[in-house]
Structure 1
Amino acid sequence: MTYVDPQAPPPERVVHVRREGGATGWFVAGAVAIVAVVAIAFMLTVGARTPSDDQIAQAQDQGRAAAVAENAQTGAAQATIVAQQAARDASAAADSARRSTENTAANAAQAAHDAAARAASSRDDTLAPSADPNVQAPPAQQSQPVN
């Protein structure tokens, strides 16, 4: 048997209130199902369409034309690169030829200057040109009597 003191305050009661979700979940599930059915119907109708032979041929022709244009652009770009390299090479060759010509001209001018200086210093009014110590006279030839 249980004894309850009538003078004591009554014990606390904890009440849990539960609320049902209502129909919101069902409405969301229904909307998702309708969207799925519409999507499946759309895929079946669009997927069933196959392109005609004319459409396939036209697409192939467009692809070929695009490939030709792309190849032409690539070839033009490569030709431009080759032409630029050839221009650089020609410019370098021209610079090299110019430097070589300038060096040859400078050497020729120096040689002419040196020759003029030697000619001026070797010219002496007292000496005959054959008496120049820098010029050696050819050896004398003896004449032989004819019989």
Structure 2
Amino acid sequence: MQTFRSKIDWWFWGVVIATTGLLLQFLWTMYVKGTMQEYPEHAAVYLFTIVLLWWPIFNTRYIVTENDLIIHSMLFKWKINKADIIKISASNHLISSPALSLDRLRIDYAKNGNVTHILVSPKDQKAFCLALEHDLTK
């Protein structure tokens, strides 16, 4: 079993860090002004948003086992049989996916008789493709 972490683009880090800083500033201002007791729901929403921002950074990973590719991102989990993978190709599509970078791999695979795909962004794409026993199609 091999685990691959998602590559994270600089702009993603920028958004997460800047937004976290802004929300922490809001919380600090509420604390200093003494309004945290008046508006606890605001503080709860700010803290919840901070957790949601950082969760994919710590949680997005791709696990290659003997027979499967298992993709984790936040509450979502995909399990793809390695034998069902048709091809892996480079992509930089913006569509929502369990990838924290635009340097992505598109995995085309068979699911219930149909061909579908998912986008991932492992840090080490070559090792990831080797673990899946597939060549990267250009």
TM-score by length of 2: 0.23
TM-score by length of 1: 0.22
Bigger radius of gyration among the two: 1
Task: Specify which structure has the bigger relative contact order, considering alpha-carbon pairs within 8 angstroms and separated by 6 or more residues.
Answer: 2
Higher helix share: 1
